[in-house]
A = this chain, B = another copy of it.
Amino acid sequence: MPDTFDASDLKVIAFDVFGTVVDWHGGIAAEVERLLPGVDGGAFALAWRAGYQPAMKGVMARIAAGEGGFTLLDELHMGILGQVLAEFGVTDLDAARKKELNTAWHRLPAWPDAVDGLARLKRKYFITPLSNGNIGLLTEMAKRAGLPWDCVLSAEVFKAYKPDPRTYLGVAAVFDVTPGQVMLAAAHHDDLAAARGCGLRTGYIERPLEFGASRPKDVSAQAGNTLHARDIGVLADLLGC
């Protein structure tokens, strides 16, 4: 990483989505409580999300072993949902309502600063999601929440999930720019570290309530990130948008 950062050389800002742009915990908890009255929505949301990393690792291991293809996040979510419903003792959900619940991930609310912050950044940069969510999920989410992406990039385009280098380097290739002309903005240091390892710029976005108001997250700055911003509006301020 060069020590100097020239914002005028930056061309593209790619955003992690779940937690960074939208509130998955609050959105899933609300939908669970609407569709499964009596269930603790916050605990259900945490359990569902906890299955996500192991499910992706399972897919990548099967692909590496030549035993399967890339799997959309909607399908992974559905598989995890079956387990979480059983854990929570829900045994009577029919297929239509299970699908409605699974697509709660398409209907997550944007954090309050996201739409305006993205619109400001879009005036100067290409803005795109770079999420492990599938294209359909991200597109429906954007349409509902008003996220003004220039395009919708996803693990589905690159046939690999973050933190696979193909995803970060894939963004640079799509726009025919160098990795250093792309910034990943994310609320997760592991995602940012992987992007930095590929030569991208990184912007940390604080989301102290990502896991709910009762589980505040440490959002202190870590060395190595190009920028550290309280929210996407502040990122736009820092980049002079």
Contact = CB atoms under 8 A, between A and B. Distances in A.
Interface string A195-230: 000000000000000000000000000000000000
A135 B150 contact: no
Contacts of A138: 151
**Interface SS of A by simple majority:** helix
Interface string A148-162: 011111001100000
Q: Could you say how many copies of this chain the assembly holds?
A: 2
A139 interface: yes
Contact of A143 (B142, B150, B153): B150
Contacts of A150: 139, 142-143, 152
A139 B157 contact: no
A88 interface: no
Interface residues of A, number: 21
A5 interface: no
A106 to B, nearest CB: 10
Nearest to A135: B174
Given A139-B151, A150-B139, A151-B152, A176 B126 contact: no
Contacts of A116: none
A138 B152 CA distance: 12
A104 to B, nearest CB: 15
A74 interface: yes
B176 A74 contact: yes
A174 B174 CA distance: 19
A52 B136 CA distance: 29
A143 B139 CA distance: 17
Of residues A134, A151, A176, which shows the largest number of chain B Cβ atoms within 10 Å of its Cβ? Answer: A151
A143 B156 CA distance: 22
A128 to B, nearest CB: 8
Contact of A139 (B74, B126, B156): B126
- Closest CB pairs A-B (n = 5): A151-B152, A139-B151, A136-B174, A135-B174, A136-B175
20 contacts: A74-B176, A126-B139, A126-B143, A128-B139, A134-B174, A135-B174, A136-B174, A136-B175, A136-B176, A139-B150, A139-B151, A139-B174, A142-B150, A142-B151, A149-B151, A150-B152, A151-B151, A151-B152, A156-B157, A156-B174
